[in-house]
Amino acid sequence: MNFSAALSQYYGEYLILTLIVLAGLPITGLLGVILNWKLSLSYNQKSVSKKVRGKHCLVTGASQGLGKATAIELVKAGAHVTIIARGKKDPKTGISSLDSVVKELELSKVNPDQIIQFFAVDLTVYDKVVEMFEKLFEQGHNPEFLFCNAGSATPGLFIDQLPVQNKEKYEEGEHEWMMKSNYFTHVNVIRALLQVARKGESTEEDSICGISSKIAIKLPKSIILVGSVLSTLSFVGFSAYSASKYAIRGFADAMRSEMKPLGVHVGIYYPGNMATPGFEIENETKPKITAKIEGSSETVSAKSAAESLLAGFDRNLFYYSNDLLGELARVSVNGGNPRPYPVVEILATPLLATIFTVWAAITDMEIKSFYKK
């Protein structure tokens, strides 16, 4: 029997085998993505401690929620920690909310020599952020690890978040505020750090990306920006919030590329919903259709989210999420950035394209059905 005859005889079997392989590869890839995601979020406090013990860490937005939980874990790992937030004062006692956070951090110290301090700063005001870094550098506490977490969420329909006219003058709407409180609180911290680090220094011939070696040694070893699952996808009710989180993602893409030659690792973390005071406030303005699309997805504790953040930080991941949908979306929108698990992510791509096509169709149907009723 010649080859063509054999091929003809077993054509059906070969076709079925080929289809099984073609279908199986994306499924294998997806399972590999999920397995690697699970493993990458396993928190190893000893490993994190080796990295940060005795080092200065700066955490923004640390008065509550994820920022506070991250600061606590860093203190437990033996780091010196500076926390930043607006630090609202109690009108009755005059005590800043950051005072109580610092007292809580003090209880988590593993070494009496650990330095715990706070600065009450509005990170949307650039001059104030520069002043804060000048004080830090004077103390010799310029951060070796930087965690940019400050931000807030105010969901709402676009029409309900327009600028408000007041005495023939329009006051800013939620879109302006979301960019200030989410995007610029990240950008201001990093550019103020660079502003102070380069003070009095001139550009040298050995500069990399415009930064001289004298300035480079003052920079953090790692910068973690906190985005959101809504940095990768969005839907009704999140036009203001999601846009600001997308902006952080674009900023992180450029910063990763620009800081890499200097030996500075940049990462962006996409947390899912967390059981925090901020999430409770977010739900107060959340449209019903937005809540319906979100569904009854479980929230995680701030401590759990902080451990996932530090697990990715410890492994020097770039894009990462503690939420399965966030991780799958991360793989889908990775763009021109390095993939941590390229083989399985490439294999999973056709299946992920199908999953998110179906997700988009279901979401559109839910919105249409909601408003039809």
Q: Which of 245, 269, 319, 341 is catalytic?
A: 245
Cβ–Cβ < 8 Å for 209, 141? no
Q: Is residue 320 among the annotated active site residues? A: no
Rounded Cα–Cα distance for residues 150 and 121 (Å): 11
**CA nearest to 51, candidates 224, 194, 300:** 224
**CA nearest to 248, candidates 306, 330, 187, 192:** 187
Q: Which of 241, 246, 270, 319 is catalytic?
A: 241
Q: Which residue is listed with tokens 């020599």?
A: 113
**CA nearest to 48, candidates 314, 331, 361:** 314
Q: Is 33 helix (H, G, I), strand (E, B) or coil?
A: helix
Handedness of CA 111, 115, 118, 123 (dihedral sign): negative
Rounded Cα–Cα distance for residues 287 and 159 (Å): 12
Rounded Cα–Cα distance for residues 119 and 127 (Å): 14
Structure tokens at 211: 């930064």
Identity of the amino acid at 137: F
Structure tokens at 174: 């939620």
Q: Is residue 241 among the annotated active site residues? A: yes
Structure tokens at 152: 């807030």
Please list the active-site residues: 241, 245
